[in-house]
Structure 1
Amino acid sequence: AKTGVAEFQNMNNAWPSNNSDAGIAEAANHSGEYVSQVSVASNVVTITFGSGVHNGNTITLTATDQGGSISWACASLSISDNQLPTICTGI
């Protein structure tokens, strides 16, 4: 999802409105072992967990255009910073 958001921004100088604009499957089609859905709205990717210790919680990956490159910030209102999943490290 991050790649799709960044590519859309770089090509259109605008953020994608939804998953389709970002070139990814609909939100519920991203389910896996721990994730129940991934959704895109503008510069925010929201990941919802469907099982495991974070069941029902979400994280957001927020993109910022840095004049040609995209930076990302990861946050959650329901998961403490020291328990954020590895997707949040190094971004």
Structure 2
Amino acid sequence: METDGALYGVVGAYTYRENFWMLRLEGKYAWGEWDYEGSTWAGTPSFVNDIDFYQVETRGLIGYDFSPSAIAVVTPYIGIGTDT
């Protein structure tokens, strides 16, 4: 099996912090076109050209800031996301 093609995409994120709380939203969109070359279980060649591809990802995160020292901040977080 072999795939060949190019993907293009954009990524964005926004982080909001207040009173040691952190909220973050992230998103990604990718698109492109692939060619596929492979074979069936019986060994018959299979070719598909110009397969349209897209992918959308979103995530939401929440965390809390801890300061173990005057120059460091640690933010453990949890989140949920989707991927299509």
TM-score band, normalised by shorter chain: 0.3 to 0.5
Q: Which has the larger radius of gyration?
A: 2
Please give the TM-score of this superposition, normalised by the length of structure 1: 0.35
TM-score by length of 2: 0.37
Bigger helix share? 1
With CA pairs under 8 Å and 6+ residues apart, which has the higher RCO, 1 or 2? 2
Bigger fraction of residues in strand: 2
